[in-house]
Structure 1
Amino acid sequence: MDGADPHIHVEESVTRHDSGARSILAGTFGLAGDLPETAATGCGLRVPFAMTSHRPESVTCLACREHARAQHLRLAEQTERLGTMPGSAITGAQAGRVAEHHRALAQRFADGP
């Protein structure tokens, strides 16, 4: 992490969005968690958190784009399977909508910046 990398990356755990957790904590308890200074990325680097994005149009690192695409496709498949399991907390239709959302994100990562 020498600051010379001009690319925008994705976090290693692409499908985890900490902003939701921070919003819940802030709304419930009046607490706001600090953002991390650095983040592990999909391409294996550790970069300043400010050099990451979850928006496909902003990510310029090709290895991170491919990593994010694969992660979203994997989550889409897992979600669809969850929707078909007996006793699942979500219906098949709900699982289908979530899976389609993640497939659309995967396609946006595949399309390039």
Structure 2
Amino acid sequence: MSESDPHIHVQSNLSADAAVRNKIASMFGLASDLPSVVTTGCELRVPRAMTSPLPARVTCLACREHAHRQHLRSAEQLEHLSRMPGMNASSAQAQQAAGWHRDLAAKFSATGT
């Protein structure tokens, strides 16, 4: 972990651990602590406070590229899964979610500050 790194990063798992924590908390009323240090898209270990899921805040170019790829991959997976039998989500819901990921991917591909 670099103490002098001035960049804002994105978590390598795109904050999936926070989403899981929130889901468990809403289902069972239990909330675990999130780790204070996380691995980023550029493979650094930084304090969670130095990360953001918001494209406008991420200043690390490697993390922006990582988030761009991950969001495109998520959109493709959603579209693929929406065509599988037995899916609980409608095709329209899956397309909306895929569109959300593509929109974020486009925002991460824009040049950071």
**Is the partner of 1:77 in helix, strand or coil?**
helix
Residue of structure 1 in register with 2:94 after alignment: 95
Runs of 4+ in structure 1 deviating by more than 2 angstroms, as ranges, are 16-32
Pair 28,90 (structure 1): closer, same or farther in 2 beyond 3 Å? closer
Number of residue pairs matched by the alignment: 112
- Give ranges in structure 1 of 5+ residues lacking alignment: none
Segment of structure 1 superposing worse, 29-38 or 46-55: 29-38
Q: Does 1:10 align with 2:10?
A: yes
In structure 1, distance between residues paired with 2:42 and 2:18:
22
Q: Report how far residue 29 of structure 1 moved.
A: 4.3
Q: Does 1:104 align with 2:103?
A: yes
TM-score normalised by L of structure 2: 0.88
What is the one-letter code of the residue matched to 2:81?
L
Segment of structure 1 superposing worse, 71-80 or 42-51: 42-51
Contact 2:10/2:40, CA 8 A, preserved across alignment = yes
What is the one-letter code of the residue matched to 2:17?
D
What's the % identity of the aligned pairs? 54
Q: Report how far residue 27 of structure 1 moved.
A: 4.1
Q: Report how far residue 18 of structure 1 moved.
A: 3.1
TM-score normalised by L of structure 1: 0.88
In structure 2, distance between residues paired with 1:31 and 1:85:
33
Alignment of 1:1-113 (within 5 A): 1-14=1-14, 16-113=15-112
In structure 2, distance between residues paired with 1:47 and 1:85:
38
- Give ranges in structure 2 of 5+ residues lacking alignment: none
Contact 2:67/2:105, CA 8 A, preserved across alignment = yes
